[in-house]
């Protein structure tokens, strides 16, 4: 406190002395007046110097071609020291991450993870990782290297591990949110060797591969077992039973529907003889199935029904054949159960085939509308124990015995012939509101030719030869026609260009 007061008195005294000195020497002839007059004479000369320097810089800029500023002289001849201060602010953000660890069996031992230690150990670990990844990449950000995968394919081991993780996650999701106790599926498909069989069966094979439940595929083939069908089933990677049906498939659509019904009954008798357990589904090879269908039919107890979309035509029907009410409210091409407001089955919604009766196809491959049956088999599913012999005690009373069906030679048009009372059928798919199955018939002519197994042997004949190809055989087959085309489309060279080309460098005429 004493030092601060003493310093204040000394500064005040100095101010008083300077003020008094200025008042005493404020005359014209005083030294202060002379210094002021010198400062006023120096100011015009300084401004003139800077103006001349600016003009000199402009001349130098015109001569050099770029701007030459006078600030360069200030930086060169100035004694002022400029100090730049940079302030760096570091923000640390703490993030909490929750990780779900999924364990799965590995074919090899994964690499041992090393815990990162603070301070110098972290630097050593990052240098070690950088040295290990130097063979893959030389790109470095800070102390961490960036691994660049070799182009074009990634590491197959990592890709397989990623697929295994995805499969494991899907299994866990299905375990928590899917069907708790799924039952196996028994799929019955009638088929026969024809031009479009490979097309239809390949689509159905890929659909059955993606079903997440155990599947047993019973394929009944008309006309006996053929190599074409057997080769397709052998590559299907689906458990199957290939059963021959000794009647040939007729070429008329009406007779074909009846033959397919008898083939389905043969498949049911195989299930009865072997006591196969599961849910029976009738999947025609030309139908289109949604994967949601296989989840929905797990809800059936004894016998259920789903809605089937009928793809019988590509355009609208002839409106002259429709009534006035049908013109205002066109019929929906869906066949399935009809329910009341409380969700109980009260009837069936069938496909209206009257507008197409005169324009429907009669033979297979005919360019006309193919009509479905009254009630398609693909729209019904039921429990396999419903047709067992040993399950007569636990079987409902409204179910018929399979041995008594068709014993007198009567034809079976739909699975409703298996029950005495159709009111016990369970409507599935939100009581028939969801369509998860589509009925479609697209076939080639019965007399159309196709290579067995779709294997081309001998090779195909050349119809349109390629103009430029690495194979000499095609060029020889093209003959002189290609040479004529080349001569016609090739631009002739001028004499001057050919003359200049033949002239050696350094030779002038």
The tens digit of pLDDT for each residue in 478-492 reads 555 556 555 555 555
Contact in structure between 173 and 159 (CB atoms under 8 Å): no
| Pair 352, 486 in one domain | no
Q: Measured between alpha carbons, how far is 319 from 316 in angstroms, rounded to an integer? A: 8
Domain membership of residue 81 (yes or no) is no
Domain membership of residue 149 (yes or no) is no
In the predicted structure, residue 168 carries a pLDDT above the cut 80: yes
Domain membership of residue 196 (yes or no) is yes
Domain membership of residue 425 (yes or no) is yes
Q: How confident is the model at residue 454 (pLDDT cuts 50, 70, 90)?
A: confident
In the predicted structure, residue 180 carries a pLDDT above the cut 70: yes
The enclosing H or E element of 177 equals: helix 156-177
Long-range contacts of 143-149 (CB under 8 A, 24+ apart): none
Q: Measured between alpha carbons, how far is 373 from 253 in angstroms, rounded to an integer? A: 10
Domain membership of residue 462 (yes or no) is no
| Pair 369, 252 in one domain | yes
Domain membership of residue 386 (yes or no) is yes
420: left (phi over 0), alpha (psi -120 to 50) or beta: alpha
Contact in structure between 379 and 308 (CB atoms under 8 Å): yes
Q: What is the pLDDT of residue 118?
A: 43
User: Which residue in this structure is represented by tokens 């300077």?
Assistant: 18
- Could you tell me how far CA 393 lies from the centroid of its own chain? 50
The residue-averaged pLDDT of 111-119 equals 43
* Of 290, 291, 292, 294, residue with least CA distance to 280: 294
* Of 306, 310, 301, residue with least CA distance to 431: 306
Q: Is residue 428 classed as helix, strand or coil in its secondary structure?
A: coil
| Pair 331, 433 in one domain | yes
Long-range contacts of 429-433 (CB under 8 A, 24+ apart): 429/296, 429/306, 429/307, 429/336, 431/337, 431/339, 431/343, 431/345, 432/305, 432/306, 432/307, 432/336, 432/337, 432/338, 432/339, 432/349, 433/307
Task: Check the CA dihedral 347-370-306-413 and report its sign.
Answer: positive
Mean pLDDT, the chain, rounded, equals: 74
Domain count for the chain: 2
| Pair 250, 396 in one domain | yes
pLDDT tens for each residue of 216-235: 999 999 999 999 999 999 99
Domain membership of residue 141 (yes or no) is no
Q: How confident is the model at residue 297 (pLDDT cuts 50, 70, 90)?
A: very high
- Could you tell me how far CA 153 lies from the centroid of its own chain? 18
In the predicted structure, residue 83 carries a pLDDT above the cut 50: no
Final residue before a domain boundary, out of 423, 440, 457 = 440
Count Cα neighbours of 292 within 13 Å in the Cβ-side half-sphere: 10
3-state SS of 82-147? CCCCCCCCCCCCCCCCCCCCCCCCCCCCCCCCCCCCCCHHHHHHHHHHHHHHHHCCCCEECCEECC
* Of 387, 100, 380, 381, residue with least CA distance to 213: 381
Q: Measured between alpha carbons, how far is 397 from 376 in angstroms, rounded to an integer? A: 24
Q: How confident is the model at residue 460 (pLDDT cuts 50, 70, 90)?
A: confident
In this structure, what token pair is assigned to residue 279? 């849910």
Exposed/middle/buried for 326, CB within 10 Å: 0-12, 13-18, 19+?
Answer: middle
Q: What is the pLDDT of residue 303?
A: 94
In the predicted structure, residue 322 carries a pLDDT above the cut 50: yes
Q: Measured between alpha carbons, how far is 189 from 263 in angstroms, rounded to an integer? A: 9
Where is pLDDT greater, at 34 or 51? 51
- In terms of DSSP bridges, do strands 303-305 and 426-427 run parallel, antiparallel, or are they unpaired? parallel
- For the ranges 48-62, 241-255, 324-338, 413-427, the lowest mean pLDDT is seen at 324-338
* Residue 498 lies in domain: 472-502
- CA dihedral defined by 492, 497, 503, 505, rounded to 10 degrees? -130
Contact in structure between 384 and 280 (CB atoms under 8 Å): yes
Q: Is residue 369 classed as helix, strand or coil in its secondary structure?
A: strand
* Of 317, 294, 295, 293, residue with least CA distance to 307: 293
Q: Measured between alpha carbons, how far is 188 from 278 in angstroms, rounded to an integer? A: 12
- CA dihedral defined by 254, 240, 292, 398, rounded to 10 degrees? 60
| Pair 350, 408 in one domain | yes
| Pair 338, 235 in one domain | yes
Counting residues of the chain whose pLDDT is more than 90, the rounded percentage is 32
- For the ranges 146-155, 231-240, 249-258, 307-316, the lowest mean pLDDT is seen at 146-155
Final residue before a domain boundary, out of 440, 458, 491 = 440
| Pair 232, 305 in one domain | yes
Contact in structure between 188 and 282 (CB atoms under 8 Å): yes
CATH of the domain at 368: 3.90.550.10
In the predicted structure, residue 48 carries a pLDDT above the cut 60: yes
| Pair 306, 416 in one domain | yes
Q: What is the pLDDT of residue 383?
A: 94
The residue-averaged pLDDT of 191-210 equals 94
Domain membership of residue 285 (yes or no) is yes
| Pair 373, 479 in one domain | no
The enclosing H or E element of 44 equals: helix 31-64
| Pair 496, 382 in one domain | no
Predicted TM-score (pTM) of this structure:
0.60
The enclosing H or E element of 292 equals: helix 291-296
| Pair 483, 352 in one domain | no
Final residue before a domain boundary, out of 419, 440, 461 = 440
| Pair 261, 359 in one domain | yes
Q: What is the pLDDT of residue 353?
A: 78
Q: How confident is the model at residue 11 (pLDDT cuts 50, 70, 90)?
A: very low
3-state helix, strand, coil in the chain (%, to 5): 40, 15, 45
The residue-averaged pLDDT of 144-168 equals 80
Q: What is the pLDDT of residue 467?
A: 66
């Amino acid at each position: 406190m004493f030092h601060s007061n003493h310093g204040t008195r000394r500064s005040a005294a100095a101010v008083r002395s300077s003020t008094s000195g200025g008042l005493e020497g404020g005359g014209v002839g005083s030294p202060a007046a002379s210094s002021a007059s010198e400062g006023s004479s120096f100011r015009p000369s300084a401004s003139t110097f800077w103006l001349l320097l600016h003009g000199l810089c402009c001349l130098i800029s015109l001569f050099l071609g770029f701007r030459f500023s006078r600030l360069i002289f200030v930086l060169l001849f100035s004694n002022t020291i400029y100090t730049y201060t940079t302030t760096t602010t570091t923000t640390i953000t703490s993030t909490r991450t929750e990780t779900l660890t999924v364990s799965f069996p590995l074919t090899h031992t994964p690499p041992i993870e090393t815990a990162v230690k603070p301070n110098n150990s972290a630097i050593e670990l990052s240098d070690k990782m950088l040295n290990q990844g130097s063979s893959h990449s030389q790109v470095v950000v800070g102390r961490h290297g960036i691994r660049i995968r070799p182009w074009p394919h990634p590491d197959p081991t990592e890709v397989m591990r990623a697929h295994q993780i995805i499969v494991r996650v899907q299994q866990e999701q299905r375990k928590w949110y899917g069907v708790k106790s799924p039952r196996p599926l028994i799929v019955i498909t009638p088929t026969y060797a024809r031009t479009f069989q490979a097309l239809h069966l390949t689509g159905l094979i890929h659909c059955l591969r993606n079903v997440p439940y155990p599947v047993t595929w019973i394929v009944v083939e008309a006309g006996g077992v053929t190599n074409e069908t057997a080769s397709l089933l052998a590559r299907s990677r689906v458990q199957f039973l290939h059963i021959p049906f000794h009647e040939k498939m007729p070429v008329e659509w009406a007779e074909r529907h009846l033959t397919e019904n008898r083939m389905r009954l043969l498949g049911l008798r195989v299930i009865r003889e072997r006591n196969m357990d599961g849910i029976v589904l009738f999947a025609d090879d030309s139908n289109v199935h949604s994967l949601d269908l296989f989840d929905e039919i797990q809800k059936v107890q004894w016998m259920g029904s789903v809605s089937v979309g009928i793809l019988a035509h590509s355009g609208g029907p002839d409106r002259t054949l429709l009534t006035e009410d049908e013109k205002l409210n066109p019929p929906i091409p869906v066949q399935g159960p009809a329910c009341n407001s409380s969700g109980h089955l009260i009837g069936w919604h069938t496909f209206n085939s009257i507008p197409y009766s005169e324009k429907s196809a009669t033979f297979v491959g005919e360019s006309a509308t193919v009509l479905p049956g009254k009630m398609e088999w693909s729209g019904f599913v039921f429990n396999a124990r419903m047709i067992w012999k040993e399950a007569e005690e636990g079987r409902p009373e409204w179910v018929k015995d399979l041995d008594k069906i068709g014993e007198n030679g009567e034809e079976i048009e739909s699975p409703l012939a298996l029950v005495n009372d159709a009111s016990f059928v369970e409507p599935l798919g939100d009581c028939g509101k969801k369509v998860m199955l589509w009925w479609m018939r697209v076939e080639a002519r019965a007399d159309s030719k196709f290579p067995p197994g779709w294997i081309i042997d001998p090779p195909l004949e050349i119809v349109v030869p390629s103009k430029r190809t690495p194979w000499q055989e095609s060029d020889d087959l093209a003959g002189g026609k290609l040479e004529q085309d080349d001569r016609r489309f090739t631009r002739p060279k001028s004499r001057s260009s050919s003359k200049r080309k033949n002239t050696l460098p350094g030779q002038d005429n």
